[in-house]
Amino acid sequence: MKLYKIDASKNQKELLKQLNVDSGGIAIISDKMNIMTFLIRDLRTPAANILKQDALSIGAEVATPRGTITCETQFCDVLLIVTPAQLKKIIKKELAQPFGLKAVAQELQKFNKTNKFEPKIMGIINANSDSFYDKSRFNSANAISEIEKMIEDGADIIDIGAVSSRPNAPIVSSDEEMERIKDICDAIKEQKLYEKAIFSIDSYTPSVVEYALISGFKIINDITGASDNEIIKLAIKYSSKLCIMHMQGTPQTMQQTPHYEDVMSEVSDFFEERITKCEALGLGKENIIIDVGIGFGKSLEHNLALIKNLSHFEKFGCEILMGASRKSMIDKIIKTPIEDRLSGTLAIHLKALENGANIIRCHDVSEHKQAISVWQEIQGA
């Protein structure tokens, strides 16, 4: 007899098939191998007691603070621990319960129908002279050759921006932004490079965005998070996707003591509001990408919390972009100059993929292509 511990967190059904388990048993057992944990904050104490009893009745569990059963406090935080099958049952039960449990059930329903997207690599082209990583800076004379190299290296998307969004970046006029990017857009259009990769315009200036969309770009990467309705309308007009990023403040102010009462809750509420606005104007979730904005008005602790709990944002049913390439959070963990942060970048991005991201925005395309290919093979093994 031989015994060893295995990682069965992924591909449970394939593992069971290899063991020649009966098809009916595969569905039942694979579900039990998948555990989901939800943190529910500020739940009324009577609701916590009802939820715990309902969970126990179906074989699930709710962890509550000591004193909950005697209602020592009016509100409490709890952990709900369920399998996917149990989640469906608990939703059905709580929809009929009082004390705010119906709202809990409605929120849980969002996690019961998440979509899975194939990983994509987004290469970065900065058409300016002040982005924080100097090797990402290009002009109209050398940008096209770098774009072609990125496509050859495995980039699915090329993100091009003419204005730096690093902390304390200088403000650039719309005319200057257009001047920096116009020739690149023209070359992409003339050479039909949009047939070889998807192009993304990193801008929130309507005139620049529209010029890029006319040139064959298919994604708007808006660091202001669709604050301008005109950007949403342009996405609809040109049938493009819109990436909504969260940022606290502006590039000029965002790293001046960023503060949140609850970063997960506040970023989630932000996406709820912006996605609702997009849908009201006619832009569906299939054309919305969300980006939690690593380093945009966040401390190291905020960034780590968002990466660790990124799967929360799958509830929106949108593609999720992660962009931590060579950012200062790596330096805050282990002192490292920008040019030596590739290893830290790959560590963050692979964890983000594991936690639900599918678009990885990076400076180093070939290295990411290799790392993601190996990661996918391990995931499928």
Is-contact 323 294, C-beta < 8 A? yes
* Overall size of the chain counted in residues: 381
Pairing of strands 219-222, 198-202: parallel
Catalytic sites, residue numbers: 327, 361
Nearest to 257 by CA among 167, 376, 144, 367: 167
- Residue 233 CA to residue 107 CA, distance in Å, equals 29
> In a 3-state reduction of DSSP, which class is residue 206?
helix
Phi and psi of 179, rounded to 5°?
A: -60, -40
Map residue 113 onto helix, strand or coil.
coil
Residues 6 or more apart whose CB falls under 8 angstroms from that of 296 comprise 165, 223, 245, 246, 247, 248, 251, 254
Q: What are the tokens at 326?
A: 């060579």
Residue 113 near residue 317 (C-beta atoms within 8 A): yes
Task: Report which residue type is found at 241.
Answer: K
**Separation of alpha carbons 381 and 369, rounded Å:** 18
| Sheet with strand 61-63: strands edge to edge | 36-44, 75-82, 61-63
**Residue in this structure with the two tokens 């983000």, named with its chain if needed:** 352
Instruction: Please state, as a whole number, how many other Cβ atoms lie within 10 Å of the Cβ of residue 370.
Output: 14
- The residue among 196, 202, 193, 286 whose CA lies nearest residue 236 is 286
The C-alpha angle 10, 12, 14, rounded to 5 degrees, equals 110
State the SS3 of 253-293. CCCCCCCCCCHHHHHHHHHHHHHHHHHHHCCCHHHEEEECC
Task: Count CA atoms within 13 Å of residue 194 on its CB side.
Answer: 21
Rounded to an integer, what distance in angstroms lies between the CA atom of residue 360 and that of residue 64?
A: 37
Q: Specify whether the CB–CB gap between 220 and 201 falls below 8 A.
A: yes
